[in-house]
């Protein structure tokens, strides 16, 4: 379900389009639980602490947007039913890792979870996929392609 970014309110921007789908606390926590292997509504509700009606609405949006898919129950043992990640859902991993790392640094008194890469502690670092160099903020520039928009905002000219 892709959106024409020029129909968004404000600046045409893929970040804004992404946030229309996942720009909600309960949506991303639901994705977290499915990533952790919890596929049932009741597990997701308990582990996120989300109000059930809001969680149900967010899961519906995530399925419609193609981030999650819902597999029907009915097989013996119900194995494989519930909510599962699509390719688009799996590709949210960098977003989740970046938010978790930021939260560890700035939002909690002490990290309640530890990430490991193979046999050592994991901290993500962003590099440029083209040249492989570590990214410093000042080295990345952005350019608006949408007509009439500049980095500063809408141009009346």
Our CB check for a second copy shows the closer of 18 and 71 to be 18
Residues numbered 74-93 forming contacts with a second copy, rule: CB under 8 A: 88, 90-93
Q: Does 53 bind a second copy (CB under 8 A)?
A: no
Q: Does 121 bind a second copy (CB under 8 A)?
A: yes
What is the closest distance, in whole angstroms, from the C-beta atom of residue 82 to a second copy in the complex?
A: 13
Instruction: Name which position in 64, 111, 148, 155 contacts a second copy (CB under 8 A).
Output: 111
What is the closest distance, in whole angstroms, from the C-beta atom of residue 24 to a second copy in the complex?
A: 7
Stretch that binds a second copy, among 4-12, 56-64, 72-80 (CB under 8 A): 4-12
8 Å CB contact between 149 and 8? no
Instruction: Name which position in 72, 113, 156, 157 contacts a second copy (CB under 8 A).
Output: 113
**Phi then psi dihedrals of residue 122, to 5 deg:** -110, 125
8 Å CB contact between 67 and 31? yes
**Dihedral over alpha carbons 56, 50, 22, 59 (to 10 degrees):** -20
Residues numbered 18-37 forming contacts with a second copy, rule: CB under 8 A: 18-25, 28-29, 32-33, 36-37
Q: Does 129 bind a second copy (CB under 8 A)?
A: yes
| Cβ-based neighbours of 12, under 8 Å, separated by 6 or more | 5, 6, 144, 146, 149
Residue among 115, 80, 79, 68 at smallest CA distance from 96: 115
Instruction: Name which position in 13, 56, 57, 63 contacts a second copy (CB under 8 A).
Output: 13
CB atoms inside a 10 Å sphere around CB 5: 15
Instruction: Name which position in 53, 142, 156, 157 contacts a second copy (CB under 8 A).
Output: 142
8 Å CB contact between 1 and 66? yes
């Amino acid at each position: 379900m892709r959106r024409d970014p020029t129909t968004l309110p404000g600046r045409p921007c893929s970040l804004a389009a992404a946030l229309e789908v996942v720009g909600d606390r309960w949506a991303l926590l639901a994705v977290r639980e499915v990533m952790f292997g919890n596929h049932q509504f009741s597990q997701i509700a308990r582990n996120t602490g989300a109000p059930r009606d809001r969680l149900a609405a967010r899961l519906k949006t995530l399925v419609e947007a193609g981030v999650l898919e819902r597999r029907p129950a009915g097989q013996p043992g119900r194995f494989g039913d519930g909510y599962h990640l699509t390719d688009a859902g799996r590709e949210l991993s960098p977003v989740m890792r970046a938010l978790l790392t930021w939260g560890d640094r700035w939002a909690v008194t002490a990290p309640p979870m530890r990430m490991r890469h193979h046999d050592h502690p994991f901290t993500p670092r962003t590099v440029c996929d083209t040249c492989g160099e570590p990214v410093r903020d000042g080295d990345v520039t952005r350019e608006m392609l949408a007509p009439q928009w500049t980095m500063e905002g809408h141009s009346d000219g």
